[in-house]
Amino acid sequence: MKQLTVPFDKEVLSGLVAGENVEITGVLYTARDAAHARLCMALDAGEELSVDLLGQTIFYAGPTPTPPGRASGAIGPTTSMRMDAYTPTLLRYGVNAMIGKGERSAAVMEAIAECGAVYFAAIGGCAAYMASCIEKCEVVAYDDLGTESIKRLEVKNLPLTVAVDSRGNDAYEQGVHAYLRQSR
């Protein structure tokens, strides 16, 4: 399994291949629907963002309240399509990578390839395990959104799969084709 450090530079992203398993260590940010809407409204209005996301990775997640003695509560990926209306804008702004679950729209796939970004898939249902990969969690924007606020996470060995690489190759589509070939 390839070990990676976030934030990523474009050279690292360009070397990743759809379907490849990785573990990431470093800093990333959480953001879900409500935060995405606010970020895009700010960009559309020509305003600075509340948190600098240039070259950063966004994890489509909202951790549950933090239990005593832990860095974070359970945290699992949100269905990525819910962010598809906002994703091309954020990629063109300069977000490098996203983490979520499920397939992406054609517009997002085009923006990923255009911007040389990467979309990682996290396994749903592993929220308690994923929380064990978080070493620090702090709210950095939109505190009023509660679990949907933007949080800065420091993670160690967070397991992911490259779902869409920087060239637009899609592991979900590749999986369907491989299954169809085997079932014939």
Span 86-119, pLDDT tens digits = 999 999 999 999 999 999 999 999 999 999 999 9
As a whole number of angstroms, the distance between CA 8 and CA 174 comes to 25
Tell me the pLDDT tens digit for each residue of 38-76.
Answer: 999 999 999 999 999 999 999 999 888 888 999 998 898
> Torsion angle of alpha carbons 184, 104, 112, 96, nearest 10°?
-120
Q: Show the domain range for 35.
A: 2-182
Gap between the Cα atoms of 31 and 20, Å rounded? 24
Q: CATH number, domain at 64?
A: 3.20.130.10
Mean pLDDT of the chain: 93
Query: Residue 175 — left, alpha, or beta (φ > 0 → left; ψ -120 to 50 → alpha)?
Result: alpha
Residue 123 has a pLDDT of 84
pTM of the model: 0.93
- Coil vs helix vs strand at 112: helix
Which one, of 105, 88, 72, lies nearest residue 36 by Cα?
Answer: 88
Of 54, 59, 51, the closest CA to residue 24 belongs to 59
Going by pLDDT thresholds of 50, 70 and 90, the confidence category of residue 124 is: confident
3-state class percentages of the chain: helix first, strand second, coil last, to nearest 5: 35, 30, 40
Q: How many distinct structural domains can be found in the chain?
A: 1
The predicted-structure confidence for 125-144, as pLDDT tens digits, reads as follows 888 889 999 999 999 999 99
